[in-house]
Amino acid sequence: MHIANVFLVALCFLSGIHSVQASEAAWFTILKPDGSPFKNTSLYIYDGDIKFKANGKQYPYGDVAKGKHYYLGEAVTDEHGNFGIKVQNYTQRSLLLVMGSVYYAVKIEKSDSLGHSPSQDHIRYVEWKDDSRRVKANHIYNWRKNSVVTIPLSADPLPAKTVERLVLKAYYASKLSPNMPWLEHEKIDALFKPLRTLTYSYALRNDVHRAMTCDHLTLRAYAATYLGRYGVAESVPFLIDALSDESAHVGANYKYAGMATTRHRANLALKDLVGEDFGFQWNAPLDERKTAINQWKYWMAERDVFINMMRRYMADNELNNYDFYRVHMNKEKTEWGASLTENPPSMGAPALTIDRKTHKIRLIKGR
């Protein structure tokens, strides 16, 4: 009996500690677009009061982000995607949570109403309808009392319910490539011949990337094929974006009438450039194409995490004069490999490999 009483007292004491800890932070679970959790992931916390453009590249993820004026801190999820934030320690009204280079940031607001009324005890979170960016519901989370009120769009609020944490969900950004200046018309004419004939020139690299988003359909298609042969690591987001290109060559002499040549060529280019194939077909139904595109984005998200690890290694080993030329996964899917290059490129640059499980990095010296 005495032992049981001691155990009961100890249990109450530990429960009290847990209660105090819970009251000091707002607790969340964050999910990927497919509903699986972000396991053991570093979440960057940004100042959400700053107006960012709705472009995934406006939220850098990696060591470069930590030097930005809008970077506030970091939270790390557990294996179930759970994490806590002491929101009362931030003076900002809104916080942005950034999970990686291919996701829209998730925004939470210290507010207890749809009218954005400030609150130190509540978090307002907007849930979207899938990846449409249309509002599905608002959730008002009282993190001190562990309760949430859900307010569906155009409907009355649901009764408050007790929760251990608020569930957040991330979505893939619709655009992965960085914003670049519009391609001048005189450059469009100048690019036609080298891109059509696949004539390599290092000086064309930035203009070819710009050509991927220009308003000339044929040049976009030529640029995609050119990048499949001569592209670099930073070409990948432009090609993934091009998989969503809805333009078609109408009336042209193609095997299939109205062929969507840009996205067709972008898919071939990606396979040539990085050696992966996620089953994308240019003429498949839209839902099937979106599934394949999301697989490409997931692949790029992992790639960028490992690039960031390799950048830290390069900084620690006096390799800062190199940049990434091409990055790919080996056939066994056990490691990432990166060939490096100087600017401009030269022969004999080193390469790196990194194990996907152990994160051990190996340097392969060049000539």
How far apart CA 319 and CA 312 sit, in angstroms, is 10
For residue range 203-252, list pLDDT tens digits in order. Answer: 999 999 999 999 999 999 999 999 999 999 999 999 999 999 998 877 66
For residue range 353-363, list pLDDT tens digits in order. Answer: 999 999 999 99
- How do 161-162 and 147-152 pair as beta strands? antiparallel
φ and ψ at 205, to 5 degrees?
-55, -55
Reported confidence tier of residue 17, pLDDT bands at 50, 70, 90: very low
CA distances from 82 to 36, 48, 78, 248 (A): 12, 21, 5, 44
Helix or strand run (H / E) with residue 326: strand 323-329
Which is more confidently placed, 18 or 317?
317
How far apart CA 201 and CA 127 sit, in angstroms, is 47
User: In the block, which residue shows the tokens 């030329």?
Assistant: 325
Q: Which residues of 134-161 are buried (b: 16+ CB within 10 A; e: fewer)?
A: eeebbbbbbbeebebbbbeeeeeeeeee
Closest CA to 236 of 323, 326, 353, 143: 326
pLDDT score of 344 more than 70: yes
Q: Considering the chain, what is the average pLDDT of its residues?
A: 89
Give the model's pLDDT for residue 171. Answer: 93
As a dihedral over the C-alpha atoms of residue 88, residue 92, residue 96, residue 101, rounded to 10 degrees, the angle is -120
> Taking a C-beta distance cutoff of 8 angstroms, is the pair 82, 27 a contact?
yes
Q: Average pLDDT for residues 20-46, to the nearest whole number?
A: 88
Task: Lowest mean pLDDT of 56-65, 77-86, 108-117, 144-153, name the range.
Answer: 56-65
For residue range 84-120, list pLDDT tens digits in order. Answer: 999 999 999 999 999 998 999 999 999 999 999 999 9
How far apart CA 52 and CA 97 sit, in angstroms, is 13
Q: Average pLDDT for residues 41-48, to the nearest whole number?
A: 95
Which is more confidently placed, 174 or 109?
109
Reported confidence tier of residue 3, pLDDT bands at 50, 70, 90: very low
pLDDT score of 348 more than 90: no
For residue range 256-302, list pLDDT tens digits in order. Answer: 666 788 999 999 999 999 999 999 999 999 999 999 999 999 999 99
User: In the block, which residue shows the tokens 């996620």?
Assistant: 278
> Taking a C-beta distance cutoff of 8 angstroms, is the pair 284, 243 a contact?
no
Q: Average pLDDT for residues 194-207, to the nearest whole number?
A: 94
pLDDT score of 22 more than 60: no
pLDDT score of 20 more than 70: no
Report field, pTM of the whole predicted structure over 0.85: yes
How far apart CA 367 and CA 365 sit, in angstroms, is 7
pLDDT score of 254 more than 90: no
Reported confidence tier of residue 347, pLDDT bands at 50, 70, 90: confident
Give the model's pLDDT for residue 2. Answer: 44
312: phi > 0 → left, psi -120 to 50 → alpha, else beta; which?
A: alpha
Q: Edge-to-edge, what's the strand order for the sheet holding 166-169?
A: 82-85, 26-31, 166-169
